[in-house]
Structure 1
Amino acid sequence: MKETTVKELAELKASGADFQLIDVREENEFEIAEIGGELIPMNTIPGNIDNISRDKKVVIHCRSGKRSGDVINWLEQNHGFENLYNLKGGILAYADEIDNSLTKY
């Protein structure tokens, strides 16, 4: 599985690059802290395949990187995606390294 670091994500965001950021946490988690991603909770991914880009970089994140990794493995194995990147360390790493104003939970 391909990964991207929180520093690389911050650089992507700052550069205005054309990429998709997907948050697979639950809505209540999203309300606690979010980094600008599109909320598609893990259990709704199968019904949202068409909302995941196939023609640009897609960074998928969760709290720590476990759920997003599981989602990426499933999408790659079952739907042939090749453009997905797991955010290493998830939103916890983003809070530690990029934006310490984010609430950690």
Structure 2
Amino acid sequence: MKEITPKEVETLIQEGKKLNIIDVREVDEVAAGKIPGAVNIPLGTIESYMNELNKTTEYIMVCRSGGRSGRATLFLESEGYNVINMSGGMLAWEGDIE
């Protein structure tokens, strides 16, 4: 499983890179703040959204601490998707939130 640090994600955003970030936390958790531009797809619903994801697009998976996003990353990876887990999750995020 590929991983990226929150600091690396923040740097890429600051450099103006177009990132595809999927936040797998529950809706109420995301309401408290998420990485700008992140799309919320709760972990329990990820399988039903797979047909909306492109296998050639790189996705960065995010959750509160890195556990749920890790599970999502492993699952999507096993289905042939290009995914990276953000280690440490939102607990380690120091960048802007929306």
TM-score, shorter chain, exceeding 0.5: yes
TM value normalised by structure 2: 0.88
SS in 2 for 1:32: coil
Q: How high is the TM-score relative to the length of structure 1?
A: 0.83
1:1-105 to 2 correspondences below 5 Å: 1-36=1-36, 37-77=38-78, 79-81=79-81, 83-94=82-93, 98-99=94-95
Shift of residue 16, structure 1, vs aligned partner: 1.8
Unmatched 5+ residue regions in structure 1?
Answer: none
**Taking every aligned residue pair, what percent have the same amino acid on both sides?**
36
Name the aligned partner's letter for residue 28 of structure 1: D
Q: In 2, are the aligned partners of 1:18 and 1:56 still within 8 Å (CA)?
A: no
Do 2:55 and 2:80's aligned partners in 1 also have CA atoms closer than 8 Å? no
Contact 1:65/1:86, CA 8 A, preserved across alignment: yes
**Larger Rg over CA atoms:** 1
Task: Give the drift of 1:57.
Answer: 2.3
What amino acid sits opposite 1:84 in the alignment? V
Q: Which amino acid aligns with 1:6?
A: P
Secondary structure of 2:35's counterpart equals coil
Q: CA deviation at 1:58?
A: 1.1
Q: Deviations over 1:63-87 (max 9, x none)?
A: 000000001111112x112x21101
Report the AA paired with residue 14 of structure 1: Q
Count of residues in Structure 1 that have an aligned counterpart in Structure 2: 96
Counterpart CA distance in 1 for 2:12 and 2:53 is 18
Task: Compare the two structures and name the one with the higher helix fraction.
Answer: 1
